[in-house]
Amino acid sequence: MKTVAIIEDQTAIREMVSQAVIDQDAFNVIIESGDGQEGCDACLEQKPEFVILDVMLPNLNGTEILRVFREKLPATQVLIFSGYQSPSLVRELLQAGAHGFVEKSAPLAELRKGIEIVSSGGSYFGPEVALLLRDAMADPKSSESGINILTKREREILQLIAESHSTREIATKLDISVKTAENHRTNLMRKLDLHDVASLTRYAINNGLISIGS
């Protein structure tokens, strides 16, 4: 049986996805997590063969998890299952290593199809995402702006700011000095031309780093 991890912060959706996987006899769900960092750590330890991953997660978002997997779990197949999608986000997820993307608004049969194809080593994109992907490919310059101009550390700090963490809390979480955290915060504000927490939070939501309920 193929081992599976489900990283999704909404309990009801996580349980629904788990049931959809269990209904297919070829899978064994070994990890269920609602926290990005905890889910990522569990995957690094248990090395599942297939992961169903949300994008907007607390503590570590789906894009950063993909980057970790690309380096440390290159054989793991990953299907994104998210309610948020945009051309730039879809392209970024593909560049980070996603093998497929099914939108949460899709029928359950669409999710099952994505699970079957991606877990077998293929690529699959739901109808809405396929349209967005075509838009992304038609406008390659869009990846040169927005969230893509931030460094990995700046994206981490942006997410933590949007999750209402203070600069001191961010420094502690990332094991850096308060001064370094302040410098990263200043740099990302300058790059995005956003200069208050409310604007940064809206930007993080619009770019799939956090959900409105985070």
Q: Supply the pLDDT for residue 162.
A: 85
- What is the largest distance, in Å, between two alpha-carbon atoms of the chain? 52
Q: Are residues 114 and 135 in the same domain?
A: yes
Final residue in a domain of this structure, among 96, 117, 139: 139
Q: In this structure, is residue 212 part of a structural domain?
A: no
Q: Supply the pLDDT for residue 105.
A: 87
Q: Supply the pLDDT for residue 190.
A: 84
Q: Supply the pLDDT for residue 212.
A: 53
Structure tokens at 155: 């994206």
For residue 44, what are the domain limits? 2-139
User: For residue 52, what is the enclosing H or E element?
Assistant: strand 50-53
Q: In this structure, is residue 214 part of a structural domain?
A: no
Q: Supply the pLDDT for residue 144.
A: 47
One-letter amino acid identity for 204?
A
Q: How many domains does the structure of the chain reveal?
A: 2
Q: In this structure, is residue 50 part of a structural domain?
A: yes
Q: Supply the pLDDT for residue 211.
A: 61
Low-confidence ranges of the chain (pLDDT < 50): 143-144, 214
Q: Supply the pLDDT for residue 214.
A: 46
Q: Supply the pLDDT for residue 13.
A: 93
Strands (E), 100-147: 100-103, 124-125
Q: In this structure, is residue 211 part of a structural domain?
A: no
Q: In this structure, is residue 213 part of a structural domain?
A: no
Final residue in a domain of this structure, among 116, 139, 162: 139
Q: Supply the pLDDT for residue 135.
A: 61
